[in-house]
Amino acid sequence: MKVYKTADYAAMSKKAANIICSLVVLKPDCVLGLATGSSPVGTYKQLIEWNKEGYLSFAHVKTVNLDEYRNLPVTHDQSYRYFMNDNLFDHVDIDKSVTNVPDGMAADIEAECKRYDALVASLGGADLQLLGMGHDGHIGFNEPCDEFPVGTHLVDLDPMTLEANARFFDNDPKKVPNQAVTMGIGTIMSAKKILVVVSGADKAGIVAKALLGPVTPQVPASILQFHPDVTIVADEAALAEYIKEGGKVCD
């Protein structure tokens, strides 16, 4: 696992964008696994800028997103499909028909989960999966639980997650959809490379736990310790506890 420390969110975003950019340049038809939330927004902004400047093309890139709220129409400005269009796809030269987000509106959600797993497998898995990290250690929407879920599944969101995401729903946790469809830990771990972006002092405790603590489904991100190619790009504030506890960072 490589851990890079940056001064702040802006530097984190630029470094993460550099890592994604280098992959797309070397493999223009790569499959990118993408995330939503606040953590990757700056990374997407940087990628858009480089795309506009002509340094980087998404013309042959395919994407698979981690997750989507249950029963939130794609036209809702907090749906993850809307987020991805708004924060990346609408601003770059990607073919939107090969950008994939689980269908949270599907009537038969079990069939949708199976379809999504088959889709990811048919693409050969993600060449790089971008992740954020929740305050309870969730990745995708894999919340703390007793066993690591393998495939795409429907999940009940934790009160901590509803609280954290209330900022997007009039600061009212009751307005946050309480379920989501998410790739499983098995699907996430099948990505060839994993890139995690984390920022802010409020994530310092969970970052230290996930990277240095025991690997347990109670801290879903701890599973990343077992992946052969993980890069963490985090700002100083998010790495404070990790460094205090003796965690190593790259030069």
Minimum distance from residue 67 beta carbon to ligand F6R (Å): 5
67 is catalytic: yes
| Token pair listed for 23 | 């992959």
Annotate each residue in 120-139 with x if it binds ligand F6R (CB under 6 A) or - if it does not, as one string.
------------xxx---xx
Contact indicator for 231, 193 with CB cutoff of 8 Å: yes
CB of 246 to ligand F6R, least distance (A): 25
Q: Are 145 and 158 in contact (CB under 8 A)?
A: no
251 is catalytic: no
79 binds ligand F6R, rule: CB under 6 A: no
Of 1 and 57, the one with the shorter C-beta distance to ligand F6R is 1
Helical pair 80-87 and 41-53, crossing angle rounded to 10 deg: 40
35 contributes a contact to ligand F6R by CB under 6 A: yes
136 is catalytic: yes
Q: Say which residue the tokens 């996930």 belong to.
A: 210
Residues in the chain: 251
Catalytic residue among 68, 112, 127, 136: 136
- From 67, 117, 158, 241, active-site residue: 67
The binder of ligand F6R chosen from 10, 21, 38, 212 (CB under 6 A): 38
Q: Applying CB under 6 A, does 37 fall inside the site for ligand F6R?
A: yes
H helices within 37-79, ranges in order?
Answer: 41-53
CA distances (Å), origin 102, targets 3, 8, 19, 89, 196 = 30, 32, 25, 16, 21
Distance (Å, rounded) from C-alpha 132 to C-alpha 135? 10
The Cβ of residue 176 has, within 10 Å, a number of other Cβ atoms equal to 21
Query: Min. distance of Cβ 165 from ligand F6R in angstroms?
Result: 7
Any catalytic annotation for residue 143?
yes
Q: Which residues are catalytic?
A: 67, 136, 138, 143
| Residue numbers at the binding site for ligand F6R (CB under 6 A) | 35-39, 66-67, 132-134, 138-141
